[in-house]
Amino acid sequence: MLTHERLKHFLSYELETGVFTRVAPCRGVRVGDPAGRKTSHGYWRITIDKKTYAAHRLAWFYVHGVWPVGDVDHMNGNRQDNRIANLREATRSLNMQNLHCATRANKTGLLGVSPHACGFRAVIVVNRKQHSLGVHATPELAHSAYLAAKRVLHAGSTL
């Protein structure tokens, strides 16, 4: 398990930018170089002692000195923004409530909206239960209904 001291031995973390830089030489990496790489899912990963860590979890550990118990949520939805001001410890449920964009499988491209025979259906999930927000003439109207409900019903939403 990576210790706080070992983390600080290898990396420096800039609070204002959320960027980690190397402070100790590592194979093929010079001191002062940015640490890590971006994954296909948009997160930064950093390898220390042959183990790969999520940069946002390392940022939490670097600043607070303890590993986060649950998830670490990017409040603005940007997976590359690892500034400590943008990170918060969250349950999986709270983290999922803070989604900012639809999944690839969503046919409309809008969060909470799906095609319906009579237009576009808006749906929100609260406490693992799906709630219909009605069928709307356009996907934009359905999305507006979803966002309005999300602001009221999802405590973790930052939209």
- Any residues with CB less than 8 A from the CB of 63 and at least 6 apart, and which? 13, 15, 84
Question: Rg of the chain's alpha carbons, rounded to an integer?
Answer: 19
Name the DSSP letter for residue 34.
Answer: B
Tokens of 125: 């999930």
Best CA proximity match to 55, nearest among 30, 21, 101: 21
Same domain, 16 and 30: yes
120 near 142, Cβ under 8 Å?
A: yes
As for how many domains the chain has, the answer is 2
Same domain, 22 and 75: yes
- Any residues with CB less than 8 A from the CB of 126 and at least 6 apart, and which? 153, 154
Please identify which residue in the block is written with the tokens 């990496």. Answer: 29
Q: Which of 90, 117, 134 is the last residue of a domain?
A: 90
102 near 115, Cβ under 8 Å?
A: no
| pLDDT by 10s per residue, the chain, length 159 | 899 999 999 999 999 999 999 998 877 788 999 999 999 999 999 999 999 999 999 999 999 999 999 999 999 989 999 999 999 999 888 888 877 778 888 899 999 999 999 999 999 988 889 999 999 999 999 999 999 999 898 877 776
Same domain, 69 and 106: no
In-domain check, residue 158: no
- Walk across the sheet containing 37-38 and list its strands: 37-38, 44-48, 51-54
What is the bridge-based pairing of β-strands 87-90 and 37-38? unpaired
Is the model's pTM score more than 0.85?
no
Q: Is the dihedral of CA 15, 18, 21, 24 positive or negative?
A: positive
Domain of 69, in residue numbers: 4-90
